[in-house]
């Protein structure tokens, strides 16, 4: 077992992120960046709490042209935010539906951007505005002299490139999950329900040192095509397949990979499908290096799936970025064309339909190094494991 | 232990929700309702998956003036959505950043609302639009003849009033959490780190039958005011206080209550604070019945806190709604003024600062019945429990 990474990040990590954002803001003639979603707020401040699950209160962080970010947040967050590197923390007594931070935010934006300022806000793919739409409209009216511009590329390009400290957290949780997947033959058996199997696996991951298992989906049966499914009371039988796909977390960083198992015995078609998706991953690993694109990576895997007789799949891509969220930019698709760079954490996730209603999805997690991929998940066996 | 409630809901539950929404749409001369967030999509369809944690793909459900809702969703969700009562499922191969469902959604909206139609969208407090802002603007352009109106009150009033089946799920998980809280003296002890204590409690909740523990915060020490905190490596010492606050889940329904403990011994000020917040809850329970408002409920609790010498608190309210999310409408505040009705599930959550930097927060979960509150959490003891 690898050493437990230090929790959190030193201030210089946040400073580096902030300065990098400010360089990009300057290039785009933007006076500030406004973010309001959990990963973006955490990325710039270190503010980390599951409290975001409460939809009641909006939270804002403003990255000015220079200096540390400014937090414009509900009072309930002031103690937690006070523990981060942020110095300028402005709070209002939320919830206050008739003015839930709008005036305070407008004042802050005017302060950092002046009138006729230009503010960047993520508006593009994989982003959303975590505040009531009516409040967004009110904010625009309260800052009618300010222009809002899409700044998706700023947060996208920053978050896609992971620091060594970020990588160490994902590597650590991937190691825990790899151990847990290797322990599945001792943990699960014919006669358990899906629900019992999920609970046993979730508890096992926690016992091994994961902070939480926010994402766990899976299925059992002779074959299945629902790959985002929650457990049922179905009893695992002889000859069944089992798929588990988990996004497990350490210190706010996710793993995201799956494994398949057969109970008792495995049919030829399922075994061939397992080998084909494994081979597709191997083809992806072989071409993956800085300078190729996500579409090159997609093509290398898609060729193997096609040659293996894939009937297609509904997932829409063959892997994606990974880090503070279970899926992040970029996407491995035929037309994504993101240039892959050192320090990106990616999943390779080729999937195929091997019979109607029967999907086989395989996933590994890697960090891109100068000379190619370094596996963070422990490579699956090519042969479908059979639990006897 | 109470019986495990049946998973999911019968189709008539979804039909009832849909017809109730349609009645409200008609009253507001709206042709359809558009929702795109996890709880709203689940509320009308039963579609239930942790896959929402992936920010990549938007999901839409359109509730027309009559008939079943229409799902406009990424292909990866078609198998899961196909298991629900929804019949009209329209998919596109997401992710497709240049048109991620916008055209398909625009076509659907025109179909149900015609040109010059009026579409309701939740835009108010506690809501947000879970789609890229740029896509929202594109949608508006693609449906320039359609008018979008705030429909927060439709989803708010429906979701605030729980059915018996919904109540049974929250009741069940509250019972599990009550058992787990009662077991804390056997589970935790001086010398453990906060992190070990969190892990032990989380695993214990899962062992007792919870599906997941998405929300767990807490703190230890002589006193603390950060009530949304994650665990540290701090070692629990003699004389420390411990607070755990958890939103634990069964079948997609949350509990949300906390408990305090002292290790070895408790100081007088902390003990008095515990009794004051308990008394404030008791005062809330005494007045709570259909017909009073959330502000009446707030006042009953606030009076006791004031009399007990509270230095205030940063939480911003004294409890809230509870159900598919760890916090829901309404809020117990001085000016919320929501009329409380039978079937609402509420938390009573009085908090006070008993010394600078020292907060005491107490929480119970209740369902409102015709004759008053029925506790779903097992009532805490008035005296601060001391673990010896």
B140 touches chain A (CB under 8 A): no
Per-residue model confidence (pLDDT) at position A262:
98
Residue (of B358, B359, B2, B373) closest to B179 by Cα position: B2
Q: Is the pLDDT of residue A79 over 70?
A: yes
Give the per-residue pLDDT at A310. 85
Query: Is B227 an interface residue toward A (CB < 8 Å)?
Result: yes
**Contact A316/B53, CB-based, under 8 Å?**
no
**Is the CB of residue A140 less than 8 Å away from at least one CB of chain B?**
no
Q: Decide if A72 is inside a domain.
A: yes
Residue B70 located in a structural domain: yes
Residues B356 and B300 in one domain: yes
Cα separation, B245 vs B228, whole angstroms: 8
Domain CATH code at residue B148: 3.40.350.10
Residue A320, pLDDT score = 98
Residue B345 in domain: yes
Whole-angstrom Cα distance, residue B301 to residue B137? 44
Q: Say yes or no for a CB contact (<8 Å) between A75 and B316.
A: yes
By the CB < 8 Å criterion, does B8 face chain A? Answer: no
pLDDT(A1) > 60: no
What are B290-312's pLDDT values in tens digits?
999 999 999 999 999 999 988 88
Verify that B101 and B117 share a domain, yes or no: yes
**Nearest CA to CA, how far is A319 from chain B (Å)?**
11
Answer yes or no: do A229 and B77 touch at CB < 8 A: no
- Would an 8 Å CB–CB cutoff place B275 in contact with chain A? no
Question: Whats the size of chain B, residue-wise?
Answer: 388
**Residues of A in Cβ contact (< 8 Å) with B314:** 75-76, 78-79, 91, 93
Which of B90, B245, B97 has its CA nearest to residue B180?
B245
> Quick one: CA torsion of A205, A207, A210, A214, rounded to 10 degrees?
50
Q: Are A206 and B207 a contacting pair at CB < 8 A?
A: no
Contact B202 A206 (CB under 8 A): yes
> Does A65 reach chain B within 8 Å, measured CB to CB?
no
Over 60: is that where the pLDDT of B1 sits? no
Q: Which residues on A lie below 8 Å from B223 (Cβ)?
A: none
A293 near A332, Cβ under 8 Å? no
Q: What is the pLDDT of residues A7-31, one digit of tens each?
A: 999 999 999 999 999 999 999 999 9
CA triplet A244, B55, A53: central angle to 5 degrees?
85
Reported as a pLDDT band with limits 50, 70 and 90, residue A4 is very high
Reduced to 3 states (helix: H, G, I; strand: E, B; else coil), residue A336 is coil
How many percent of chain B have pLDDT more than 70?
99
The better pLDDT of the pair B366, A1 is held by B366
Distance CA B88, CA B81 (A): 10
For position B311, what pLDDT does the model report? 86
For residue A156, the model assigns a pLDDT of: 98
What does the pLDDT look like over B264-279, one tens digit per residue? 999 999 999 999 999 9
Of B55, B83, B320, the CB nearest to A327: B55
Based on the fold, state whether residues A133 and A72 are members of the same structural domain: yes
Same domain, A80 and A226: no
Question: For residues B17 and B21, what is the distance between their CA atoms, to the nearest angstrom?
Answer: 6
Residue A342 within a domain: yes
Q: What is the pLDDT of residue B115?
A: 85
Tell me, yes or no, whether A153 and A166 share the same domain.
Answer: no
> Cβ of A126 and B134 within 8 Å?
no
- Examine the domain organization and report whether A185 and A279 are in the same domain: yes
A56 contacts in B (CB within 8 Å)?
125-126, 320, 327, 331
CB burial string A258-283: b at 16+ within 10 A, e below = bbbbbbeebbeebbebbbbbbbbbbb
- The answer as to whether A2 is a domain residue is no
Residue B387: closest CA among B259, B282, B279: B259
Shortest distance between the Cα of A130 and any Cα of chain B, in A, equals: 6
From B159, B176, B193, the end of a domain falls on: B159
B4 in a structural domain: no
Find how far residue B310's CA is from the centre of its chain: 27
CB half-sphere exposure, B371, CA atoms < 13 A:
0
**From CA B253, how far away is CA B345, in angstroms rounded?**
11
- Is B75 in contact with A203 (Cβ distance < 8 A)? no
Q: Choose, out of A7, A52, A56, the residue to mutate when testing the contact with B (most B CBs < 10 Å).
A: A56
Residues of chain B with C-beta less than 8 angstroms from the C-beta of A325:
53-55
Q: Which of B75, B132, B232 sits opposite A124 (nearest CB)?
A: B132
In a domain, B126, yes or no: yes
pLDDT band at A311 (very low <50, low <70, confident <90, very high): confident
Q: Which domain holds residue A362?
A: 161-387
Question: With contact defined as beta carbons under 8 Å apart, do A148 and A309 qualify?
Answer: no
Mean of the pLDDT values across residues B147-170? 98
Give yes or no: residues A367 and A295 share one domain: yes
B48 and B190 both lie in a single domain: no
Residue B160 CB: number of other CB atoms within 10 A? 19
Please, which pLDDT band fits residue B313 given cuts at 50, 70 and 90?
confident
Residue A149 to residue B76: CA distance in whole angstroms = 31
Last residue of a domain, one of A142, A159, A176: A159
Mean pLDDT score of chain B: 97
Within the 20-39 window of chain A, which residues sit less than 8 Å (CB to CB) from chain B? 37
Residues B180 and B318 in one domain: yes
Closest B-chain CA to A81: B226
What CATH number is attached to the domain comprising A334?
3.90.230.10
pLDDT in tens, A106-143: 999 999 999 889 999 999 999 999 999 999 999 999 99
The beta strands (E) that lie in chain A are given as: 32-35, 60-64, 70-74, 88-92, 118-121, 147-150, 212-221, 241-250, 253-254, 257-263, 320-321, 328-331, 345-348, 351-355, 358-361, 364-369, 372-375, 386-387
Name the band, by pLDDT with cuts 50, 70 and 90, for residue A195: very high
d(Cα A253, Cα A38) in Å, to the nearest integer?
A: 13
A218 and A258 both lie in a single domain: yes
**Domain stop point among B111, B135, B159:** B159
- DSSP sequence for B147-191: EEEE-HHHHHHHHHB--HHHHHHHHHHHHHHHHHHHTHHHH--TT
B326: its two tokens: 């760890």
Q: Is B318 within the bounds of a domain?
A: yes
Pairing of strands B351-355, B345-348: unpaired
Q: Are A261 and A359 in the same domain?
A: yes
pLDDT at A314: 82
Averaged pLDDT for residues B139-149: 97
Please tell me the predicted confidence (pLDDT) of residue A226.
92
Distance from CA of B144 to the nearest CA of A (A): 18
Q: What is the pLDDT of residues A217-244, one digit of tens each?
A: 999 999 999 999 999 999 999 999 999 9
Token duo for residue B230: 């994650």
Is residue B220's pLDDT more than 70? yes
Minimal Cα–Cα distance from A365 to chain B, Å?
Answer: 16
Residue to substitute from B226, B295, B332, interface A, most A β-carbons within 10 A: B226
Count the Cβ atoms, other than its own, within 10 Å of residue A286.
11
The reply to whether B281 and B380 lie within a common domain is: yes
Q: What is the pLDDT of residues B3-27, one digit of tens each?
A: 899 999 999 999 999 999 999 999 9
Number of domains into which chain B is organized = 2
| pLDDT value of residue B314 | 81
Q: How far apart are CA B102 and CA B74, in angstroms?
A: 11
């Amino acid at each position: 077992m690898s050493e437990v990474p230090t929790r959190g990040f030193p201030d210089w990590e946040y400073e580096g992120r902030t300065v990098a954002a400010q360089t990009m803001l300057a290039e785009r003639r933007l006076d500030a960046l406004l973010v309001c979603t959990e990963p973006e707020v955490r990325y710039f401040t270190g503010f980390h709490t599951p409290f975001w699950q409460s939809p009641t209160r909006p939270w804002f962080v403003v990255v000015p042209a220079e200096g540390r970010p400014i937090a414009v947040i509900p009072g309930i967050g002031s103690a937690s935010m006070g523990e981060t590197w942020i110095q300028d923390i402005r709070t209002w007594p939320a919830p206050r539906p008739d003015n839930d931070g709008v005036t305070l935010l407008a004042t802050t934006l005017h302060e950092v951007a002046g009138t006729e300022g230009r503010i960047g806000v993520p508006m593009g793919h994989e982003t959303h505005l975590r505040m009531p739409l009516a409040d967004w409209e009110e904010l625009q009216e309260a800052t009618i002299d300010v222009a809002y511009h899409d700044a998706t590329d700023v947060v996208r390009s920053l978050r896609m490139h992971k620091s060594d400290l970020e990588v160490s957290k994902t590597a650590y949780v991937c190691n825990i999950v790899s151990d847990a997947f290797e322990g599945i033959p001792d943990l699960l058996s014919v006669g358990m329900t899906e629900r019992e199997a999920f609970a046993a696996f979730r508890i096992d991951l926690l016992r091994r040192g994961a902070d939480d298992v926010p994402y766990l989906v899976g299925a059992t049966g002779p074959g299945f095509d629902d790959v985002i499914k929650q457990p049922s009371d179905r009893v695992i039988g002889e000859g069944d397949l089992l798929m588990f796909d988990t996004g497990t977390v350490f210190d706010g960083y996710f793993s995201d990979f799956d494994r398949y198992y057969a109970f008792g015995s495995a049919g030829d078609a399922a075994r061939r499908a397992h080998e084909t998706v494994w081979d597709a991953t191997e083809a992806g690993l072989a071409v993956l290096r800085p300078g190729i694109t996500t579409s090159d990576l997609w093509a290398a895997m898609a060729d193997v799936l096609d040659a293996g007789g894939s009937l297609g799949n509904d997932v829409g891509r063959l892997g994606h970025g990974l880090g503070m969220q279970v899926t992040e930019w970029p996407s491995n698709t035929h037309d994504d064309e993101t240039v892959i760079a050192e320090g990106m954490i990616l999943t390779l996730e080729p999937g195929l339909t091997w019979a109607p209603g029967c999907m086989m999805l395989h996933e590994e997690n890697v960090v891109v190094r100068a000379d190619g991929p370094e596996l963070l998940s422990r490579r699956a066996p090519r042969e479908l494991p059979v639990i006897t």
